[in-house]
Chain A
């Protein structure tokens, strides 16, 4: 599209809102220092997860039995566990588990939830009714209990935890998307598109989906943290990643036995979980305010 010519002919600036909209987004997004803090934490987390091999001072899976249950020192910055494995190295590799589960689960849940919610909202007849009642039923379970049962049924292991958490998170996206679709499809531009003969799928893809992207993106960011928290809870209970794999929740649980002598074994991984969830929450809220201030209170 040749906007420059268009402005010249029409005599008013049509390009201006586009540019300033993008600038406004960054300005509002980076305005609060706390959001920047969140971004820094998340960047560090991603770097840690990617370069875990290079960053970890020791092998996270194999320790020296002779160095069992060491206190934090210059050799082992955060001490060692019962098997003599370095806590810091296990924390670094745990970042990989947390991020992997977080991202894959969220993508699965967001894709299925968004599609289901959009279909339910768009064809708000019997089909929409059935989909949303199933989502209501899934929401009738405490999320953690549902994920716990599903991963037990599927038999543990990281991929099953991802599936279990994914299923447990779908209703949240479906509900938000359903609400958005119901209100968006009443807009005149949808009517205009339909009167030009667009079919259902085209309308959904061209109008409903792009217009609900902002709230869904905000939901994804905050839910990423919540998924990591839920994964940590599952692995704390002993479901999920199998030993000797490193997961923060399991590390908290393993360290619990030595709380009176080596509290750092539980404290450090717990702090890592909280910091990451906290950062996702901050960035999600910042994103919400920057993308669409009207979403405040809704998400």
Chain B
């Protein structure tokens, strides 16, 4: 097991290094000079002198060769400095620190919601295979995977916000400030963020459960005369849940991808919104560090998922 963990850890480090290289060199291809855009917003009238441009270029370290810029970025990262945003005039660390709790709040609630509901639906569909329950769950799972989340957001806003007036249509409030308002505000975004994961969970749980149910030990459990509840919950479900761990890894990726859209639809000042704004402002420092932090989270979560999967199911470890 230790060897397995070390191997996975080394692999994750290699992947993170490749990720930093991809991000750095892709971002450097951004059209336009970020300094000119920055100065364009600053200078209300008149043109900026070449000297000013050069001073700023040196200040941001943009005059150095590209490899030196990469190593400088890496060394700053190791010192906990994510760089200075050109658009927001703020340290990227601070920008992310302010917005991460919001995205995490929505993300964690969605992850819990989608897995609980998805797994329940999957179990129901499996134990009532072929009945209307199974058909409804299967159709819902198809819709969940194929519905555009931004459109679902708009449908919900129209129905529950504009027509019925039940829920606030936009914004975010910290639950520490006003718990009730915060909860009402996150209902629709959480629904949108969890729909994809929920559908995936339901589908996976259904097939995992069907596979488990056909195992010999389940037949033994029935033959022993156990009640349905004992067979389903104690014998079948426990074992079917193991592959569900991988859903957490998939879910984290879905949530960060979805937050880009959902935070735009619901005007939520989270990391996803920050990334979109920075892209349009061509603020490459924010995009660079923001993307790195997001992908590091995804890679690390997947590492933990892989290790726990290997720990729970030895067939994976030695396979």
Contact = CB atoms under 8 A, between A and B. Distances in A.
Interface in A241-260: 249, 252-253, 256, 259-260
B133 interface: no
Nearest to B151: A270
Main secondary structure of the interface of B (DSSP, over half): helix
Interface size class of chain A, counting residues whose CB lies under 8 Å from the partner chain:
35 or more
A278 B11 CA distance: 36
Interface string B134-159: 00000000110111111100110110
Nearest to A263: B158
Contact of A137 (B15, B151, B211, B264): B15
B257 interface: yes
A48 B149 CA distance: 25
Interface residues of B, number: 49
B146 A274 contact: yes
Interface stretch (A67-75, A78-86, A102-110, A149-157): A149-157
A218 B171 CA distance: 41
B294 A270 contact: no
B256 A142 contact: yes
Given A236-B150, A266-B154, A270-B154, A145 B275 contact: yes
Nearest to A266: B154
Nearest to B210: A297
A186 B249 CA distance: 30
B112 interface: no
13 contacts: A133-B15, A140-B15, A145-B256, A145-B257, A149-B26, A149-B27, A149-B291, A233-B261, A236-B150, A238-B280, A256-B265, A260-B162, A274-B147
Interface of A: 133-134, 136-138, 140-145, 148-150, 152-155, 225, 229, 232-233, 236-239, 249, 252-253, 256, 259-260, 263, 266-267, 270-271, 273-274, 277-278, 281-282, 296-297
- The 5 tightest CB contacts between A and B, nearest first, are A270-B151, A142-B257, A137-B18, A144-B257, A277-B146
